[in-house]
Structure 1
Amino acid sequence: MDLHPDRGSSSLVLERATTDIASFRSRVPEAALDDLRRRLALVRWPDAETLPGWAQGVPLVRARRLVDYWLRDYDWRRGERVLNAFPQYRTSIDGLGIHFLHVRSRHADALPIIITHGWPGSVFELVKLVRPLVDPTSFDGRPSQAFHVVMPSLPGFGFSDIPSTSGWGVERTAGAWQELMRRLGYRRYVAAGGDFGSAVTHALAALRSPALVGMHTSFPTCLFDPPAIAPYTPEEADALAQLAAYRASDSAHAFQMTTRPQTVGYGLEDSPVGLGTWIYEKLAAWTDSPHDPDAVLGRNSVLDNITLYWLTGTATSSARFFWEDPTWPVPRLQLPVGVTAFPADIVTTPKVWAERTYPQLTHFSRAPEGGHFPAWEVPLVLAQELRATFEPLR
């Protein structure tokens, strides 16, 4: 499966996928990296913010530091090797090429799991989780806790195709994931995800396929339509305050991409600095850190994720995923569900909300650390949560 530059742009064109499952490796042409470096060198900076800290967005000094490292020290080829260390594939489902990692455990009785990333993440967000799941004995686990892991790139993200028509939202994606697991030969499996990955996982569960026997989420879709009943518990009051703060000062990106994804895309596709700071702000706000995502994710890992968006030209198409689903469904699910609440997430899920939302809530836990990107921030914690959630289903 080959990549080549799109004439007239810096993005890449993927070889057309078929219904066969074709092996894939990232081999970005050097010309695309040269173009990125040229654009980084020609950045025109705004003036500095007029308030200290992050109140007006990414501070100029932090943006300069990120871009200087991106231009002078960052090596995409290293990031590419991180991704290419795992078996990757592309296959056409419902007319769209879907990219995914598929890593089978050496343990014969491993449980298949499909895990979905969100925005502004990618499969780079999930790769630290792979080895603890497929090889639990190397990470304080037992052979009986092993998983076969499937990690797809959402439509319009990473190395999945960009939809050319509307309609590729959460529910259609869930249908594609169901077909993907069938195509891989899995007749019994579980699912997990956070952010948009949670919405897709809920939609997959709502299809009520007998093959899907359980799910886990770190970000229940009910958080944006909370089942709060006054008088509120202290946990609920905290969560409602977090939700109000998000809506008041941290949700402009979602409103813009939900209403005008095409317009915001022009700046993001034309300027790597614009794209990088657009993503970096959310990594800073939503990780379990004092607005220092480099400290918990690693600067190279942060730039792997950002650079993937840039090289694949998926800033606009990923924004359209918001437009497709301005509100997330909260289906009444009839299967076992596990929920883990992470303390630095956008909203920390109260246990009572999980109990009201999921009739078959079989596992609930409050993690000691971690934010909106647990697979990226605290992969061993999330791996343990997935083991605990799905232990009874093996």
Structure 2
Amino acid sequence: MPSITTFTIDVPEARVQRLKQKLELADFPDEVTDLTPDDAWSRGVPLSEMKRLVRYWHDEFNWRAVETALNKLPHFSTEVKIEGFGSYQMHFIHQRSQVTNAIPLLFLHGWPGSFIEVTKILPLLVQGNNSSPAFHVVAPSLMDFGFSSGSKKKAFYMEQHAEACHKLMLSLGYDEYVIQAGDMGCLVARLLASNYGRAHCKALHTNSAFPAEPTASSHPELYEKVKATPLSEDEIAGLGRTAAFGTEGNGYYKQLSTRDQTIGYSLADSPVGLLAWLYEKLHDWSDNYPWTDDEILTWVSIYYFSSAGAGLLGARIML
């Protein structure tokens, strides 16, 4: 079995100072000035918001305080061997519950997230209550994310992420486990369920389901039922949002899944560009969640200080 070692987040001071230098020298583009308040985010993060956050990142945001807080969590690292790809270092949080018969839970993040997605809910998961089970929580940084290794081989896809996560759970002694996954993590989780189900993966919950529309040939009875059932106003509105996302909101995916190297130069070199790239999604995809400046910059800083590098994170992993 591979050895498991404790892990401490400790970004070199030179990288922290380099970040501040880049922020100080930031140049900003012009923006369209005749947008209405309702359209302020329609072209991306508003210029005034970017300037404000960049100023805060440079002048007030304290990465060392963030490190101290994050390091209170149980971080670990281990070597994972992927068939045909070699060995990688995988970073993960592992919090065991004190509750008898707690369930091993593999918690998979998405993009533009990281292991930090689990931090707020972690105490609730390990404690459980009268109506909810308790869990032994394992929250890895997927390869290319956070403080796990990056893969420089073009064929490292979801299948390899699933293999890495499964081997991690086995190395921790969890022969059977359940999964929670969202966004990109859902794609990894579906492979875990299909490849290692029955014997190992006992249940899967996701907040990012990708169901296939029933057809007359695939599910004839369900197809007829769907055709005969009128849509509610909420469902019609939801379909409208889905259509709008297809025409206005998924350009990032087309870029990352086709020319990831091109966008990678900007994300690796410019913390301002990285902030704009990620913050737009945090704003648009979180249902009016009241983000604090420190939360936004913590999420983005984890990308900037990642082991794989900001230009690689969330790029070819999206394919």
Q: TM-score range by the shorter chain?
A: 0.7 to 0.9
Q: Distance in 1 between matches of 2:19 and 2:213?
A: 42
Residue 134 of structure 1 aligns to which amino acid in structure 2? V
Check if 1:321 corresponds to 2:312. Answer: no
Contact 1:67 1:273 in 2 (8 A): yes
The equivalent residue for 2:271 is 272
- How many residues of Structure 1 are paired with residues of Structure 2 in the alignment? 295
Deviations 1:316-343 (A, max 9, x none): 2421112xx3xxxxxxxxxxxxxxxxxx
Aligned counterpart in structure 2 of residue 78 of structure 1, from 51, 57, 65: 65
Report the equivalent of 1:213.
202
Q: Which residue of 1 aligns with 2:31?
A: 48
Q: Could you say what secondary structure the match of 2:23 adopts?
A: helix
Which of 174, 183, 190 is the matching residue for 2:178? 190
Aligned residues with identical type, % of pairs: 37
Partner residue of 2:294?
300
Cα deviation, 1:16-66, whole Å, max 9, x if unaligned, reads xx9311111101111110000000000011113332411211110111111
Match of 2:190 in 1: 202
Query: How do residues 1-394 of structure 1 correspond to structure 2 at under 5 angstroms?
Result: 19-50=2-33, 51-52=35-36, 53-93=40-80, 94=82, 95-136=87-128, 141-142=129-130, 145-207=133-195, 208-222=197-211, 225-227=212-214, 229-230=226-227, 233-234=231-232, 236-289=235-288, 295=290, 297-312=291-306, 313-322=309-318, 325=319
Instruction: State the distance in 1 between where 2:198 and 2:165 align.
Output: 12
How much does 1:238 deviate?
A: 3.4
- Tell me if structure 1 keeps the 8 A contact 2:265–2:311: no
| SS of residue paired to 2:312 | helix
**228-237 vs 278-287, which deviates more?**
228-237
- Native 8 Å contact 1:264 1:316 kept in 2: no
Give 1:377's aligned residue: none
Give the Cα separation in 1 of the matches to 2:17 and 2:90. Answer: 27
Which residue of 2 is the match for residue 13 of structure 1? none
Contact residue 266 and residue 311 of structure 2 kept, 8 A: no
- Take 1:285 and 1:190, find their aligned partners in 2: how far apart are those partners? 29
d(CA) in 2 for partners of 1:69, 1:189: 42
| TM-score (structure 2 length as normaliser) | 0.88
Q: Between Structure 1 and Structure 2, whose CA radius of gyration is higher? A: 2
Give ranges in structure 1 of 5+ residues lacking alignment.
1-17, 326-394
Residue 60 and residue 144 in structure 1: after superposition, are their counterparts in 2 closer, same or farther (change >3 A)?
closer
Alignment CA distance shift 1:320-1:169 (3 Å): same
What amino acid maps onto 1:28 in structure 2?
V
Alpha-carbon distance in structure 2 between the residues aligned to 1:29 and 1:237: 51
Tell me by how many angstroms 1:315 deviates: 3.3
Question: Structure 2: where are the runs of 5+ without partners?
Answer: 215-222
Contact in 2 for aligned 1:110/1:144 (Cα 8 Å) = no
User: Which runs of at least 4 in structure 1 moved beyond 6 Å after TM superposition?
Assistant: none
Q: Give RMSD over aligned pairs.
A: 1.8
